[in-house]
Structure 1
């Protein structure tokens, strides 16, 4: 920790360069998490279903291990295993010109995009918070929100394996008041869940349709646990604005069919991250407009 403070105080540029490089590595891991966690959950649900109903005509699940570390990453088109040199964050994709080295099939630009977003968001957080536990927690929150954003865009899913630990960690960090008081954090967690839970059931009773999922409740509860109940109005307003802008953009670009449901989790995550860094000045500005 002393070394980190020394770098921060005397070699500012080196501190941010090293942090940016580390964040690129984290972004590479987040790509694995975003892709594999939903598959792992689906296989787990299938196994639980087969074990519960004991139906012999169900096809057996793959026997080989499948987790965040095994099997090794490979090209989904030809099966070529990604080498260490082909797995350097951002640079490998640029060097390979966005194509597999074996079959030359295009590699999605989203992989370097996630890595770049992770690095830029981490640097923004590091520019706001000095080294310490508050910065470490803010970085972890940023990384989990980034993973949740892309998983929800892909699968309309906010896994409990990410949202619930995030909620409890926010409460634990705020025992010492890292971001808000413990009282504000507990009220924020309960209020965040109950606000969207109430909206969900009001919408369902009025229309007979489900407007959002339970994962959205848990994500807002987690954000309330980290940032306190005072941040919830701002997060809801920002998420609605971000959702409207991105939704209109996707429709205009014809990448989002109107009949396909749009996830709300990414907009909550983006709004929560904005509130993490600029919540207080934005709230003061908003209240000034009302006053």
Structure 2
């Protein structure tokens, strides 16, 4: 009789991975160059997502005379609307050559574009060194790309699009089921359920006490997606780190008079920062 393999027990912590890069010796220069270039290209696409996806959501209920999506209209200068040629779309290099200005109207181009591209390339290389030149590194890179886009969109627009939070959740669960992430499937499933439920209880409790909504539904979905990647044992450290960093930011903004009239600020970037820390550092309640 064949005995099926036992699933990891929820009460058994996986143990902290720690800040280690176990595959450094297996990675060569060409691997690093490949992941860096891939990161720059994906980072360029993330800039499109960050700019257009919120506009697509906000325009969803309005009648449109012209198509507006991720590919239409073509990339253009936000000031003079000039369509950009292919040589004006090379990640980082085009920005550097043009000195951060449009070649046609000479208006300043946001520093967000090269920064997102560089950050994405750096995160992709970190995934390569962490997981080696294999599928888990690509999946971890997808995690980083989605999380970076979500954090930036929330910081700028207070939106966390379902298209990205749901992708974060399902890619994490599928990756765990295929053993392409360091999180066992039972921990991933439990982390997703508890991640959403934990913030829902906090949000519900705040609403009952204060009589107003304290947290958006997007934050709940984001923590559920993060739970699928880091697992149930990393949820509390993740939420604690996000809450402390968010509290420090909120107090500092309040003291500087920059918090806004409603006292709200985007919590998504702090969840994302904590998600990166728990994923790469292996922060959990396990030994």
Report matched runs for 1:254-265 at 5 Å. Answer: 256-257=259-260, 259=262, 261-265=264-268
Q: Quick one: which of 128, 136, 142 aligns to 2:144? A: 142
The 1:255–1:205 alpha-carbon spacing in structure 2 relative to 1, beyond 3 Å, is closer
Corresponding residue for residue 154 of structure 1 = 156
Q: Quick one: which of 194, 216, 227 aligns to 2:197? A: 194
The 1:247–1:85 alpha-carbon spacing in structure 2 relative to 1, beyond 3 Å, is farther
- CA distance in structure 2 between the partners assigned to 1:102 and 1:213 by the alignment: 41
- Contact 2:233 2:285 (8 Å CA) reproduced: no
- Contact 1:27 1:116 (8 Å CA) reproduced: yes
Report matched runs for 1:77-116 at 5 Å. Answer: 77-116=79-118
Greater Cα shift, 210-219 or 117-126: 117-126
Q: Quick one: which of 23, 28, 46 aligns to 2:44? A: 28
| CA drift at 1:35 | 0.5
Report matched runs for 1:45-60 at 5 Å. Answer: 45-46=61-62
Report matched runs for 1:1-291 at 5 Å. Answer: 12-46=28-62, 61-177=63-179, 178-247=181-250, 256-257=259-260, 259=262, 261-280=264-283, 283=285
| CA drift at 1:36 | 0.5
Greater Cα shift, 168-177 or 93-102: 168-177
| CA drift at 1:227 | 1.7
Greater Cα shift, 83-92 or 254-263: 254-263
Structure 1: runs of 5+ lacking an equivalent: 1-7, 47-60
The 1:260–1:100 alpha-carbon spacing in structure 2 relative to 1, beyond 3 Å, is farther
| CA drift at 1:15 | 1.2
| CA drift at 1:256 | 4.6
- Contact 2:27 2:133 (8 Å CA) reproduced: no
Secondary structure of the corresponding residue to residue 79 of structure 1:
coil
Q: TM-score, normalised by structure 2?
A: 0.85
Task: Quote the RMSD (CA, aligned, Å).
Answer: 2.1
- CA distance in structure 2 between the partners assigned to 1:127 and 1:188 by the alignment: 26
Bigger share in helix: 1
Secondary structure of the corresponding residue to residue 61 of structure 2:
helix
- CA distance in structure 2 between the partners assigned to 1:245 and 1:17 by the alignment: 38
The 1:277–1:221 alpha-carbon spacing in structure 2 relative to 1, beyond 3 Å, is same
Secondary structure of the corresponding residue to residue 101 of structure 1:
coil
How many residue pairs align between the two structures? Answer: 263
